[in-house]
Amino acid sequence: MQPTISASGISKSFVVKQIRTIALQDVSIDIFPRELTLIIGPSGCGKSTLLAALSGLTSPDTGSINTLATDLVGASDDERDAFRLNHCGFVFQGFNLFPALTALEQVQVPLDYLKVPQDEAVERSEQALARVGLSHRQHLHPTELSGGEKQRVAIARAIVKNPAILFADEPTSALDSVNGQSVIEILHTIAKDTNATVLCVSHDPRLIAHAERVLHMEDGRILEDTRPRHITVA
- CB of residue 61 to ligand ADP, shortest distance in Å: 12
CB of 23 to ligand ADP, least distance (A): 4
Q: Which 4-63 residues touch ligand ADP, going by CB under 6 A?
A: 14, 16, 21, 23, 41, 43-49
Q: Which amino acid is at 56?
A: G
At a CB cut-off of 8 Å and minimum separation 6, what does 192 contact? 34, 234
Specify the residue, 128 or 217, whose C-beta has the smaller distance to Mg ion. 217
Interaction of residue 161 with ligand ADP, rule CB under 6 A: no
Q: Is 102 in the site for Mg ion (CB under 5 A)?
A: no
Is residue 172 at the binding interface for Mg ion, with CB under 5 A as the rule? no
Tally of helices (H runs) and strands (E runs) in the chain: 6, 10
Q: Within 13 Å and on the Cβ side, how many CA atoms surround 180?
A: 19
**Nearest Cα to Cα of residue 151 among 119, 116, 186:** 186
State the distance between the two ends of the chain, measured CA to CA, in whole angstroms.
15
21 interacts with, out of ligand ADP, Mg ion, none, CB within 5 to 8 A per kind:
ligand ADP
3-state secondary structure of 142: helix
Q: Which of 37, 48, 125, 151 is the binder for Mg ion (CB under 5 A)?
A: 48
* Residue at shortest CB range from Mg ion: 48
| Positions that interact with ligand ADP (CB under 6 A) | 14, 16, 21, 23, 41, 43-49
